[in-house]
Homo-oligomer: A and B are copies of this chain.
Amino acid sequence: MNILIVGLGLIGASLAKTLKKNTSHRVLGWNRTESVSRRAVDDGVIDETGNIEDLIPKADITFINFYPDAIAPFILEHQALFKENSIVTDSCGIKTKLCKELDKRDFHFYFVGAHPMAGREVSGYDNSLATLFDNASFICTPYDYTPKYITDALVGLAQEMGFARTVVTTPEHHDEMIAFTSQIAHVLACSYVLSPLAPYHAGYSAGSYRDVSRVARINADMWTQLFIDNGEPLVREIDDLVSNLMKFKYAIVNGDENQLHDLMEKGNKIKEEIG
């Protein structure tokens, strides 16, 4: 197959490197800043680049790796160019809004939302890795009218690429879970380092500070879009988190050792059981 990677930043270039490493498909690539596409060819990360109008018609599967709000406009603008019955997919971190915008039965290609679930605190082509998706999940969110063979083809490609796990679900369930597993983790890491004591942590910190604060290194442009577009599930998670923090606070204020012990024992048990 010809697989086109549109956008050669952290995720796009890592997808390209993974395809080159683990599959024998031909990898086409395109990036808005042309110098990056040329470097990707020189580095062997992609096999071919060129004008986007020439690349799109050749692709059996196209991955769009843009900021969330730029994906649907790009697909709609270039819709006439996609190959008949080809698969068009993406890699952005939320799915409900995008899948609604592209919920069109009359496309001559198949759009299937996807989320290769990995990231780094740094971004851009230079930080991309052929190993970024080792141990990662590949989640995709087809429509109820997406033919099964299309979903199977996308899932099959993810397996061939070496993703540790593939999940097929609805955009809504994806976004609710991601609000918990990823978005609220970023919100709380940022909220944590905003403490007035953060600048003085050196000498007083160990593994728990390091791990809990890690994802405060955040791309504010991209995550602003992701948070706004997934507001409802994310606010629900913030509310749950604040309510649990307040239980800790009142147990401490009241010197209620039993309540405090119960809360931790519950947290410990959940973590022990679910990993």
Contact = CB atoms under 8 A, between A and B. Distances in A.
Most chain B CB within a 10 A radius of its CB, from A174, A204, A217, A219: A204
Number of copies: 2
A198 to B, nearest CB: 6
Interface string A197-210: 11111111111110
A249 B233 CA distance: 11
Contacts of A199: 270, 273-274
A117 interface: yes
A241 B246 CA distance: 11
A239 B191 CA distance: 11
A194 interface: yes
A216 B177 contact: no
A86 interface: no
Given A119-B207, A190-B266, 10 more contacts: A137-B204, A188-B245, A189-B271, A191-B241, A193-B270, A194-B240, A216-B270, A224-B260, A224-B261, A242-B246
9 contacts: A180-B195, A187-B248, A188-B241, A189-B208, A190-B267, A191-B267, A218-B267, A231-B252, A238-B252
Interface of A: 117-119, 136-137, 139, 165, 167, 174, 176-182, 184-209, 211-221, 223-224, 227-228, 231, 234-235, 237-242, 244-249, 252-253, 255, 257, 260-261, 263-268, 270-275
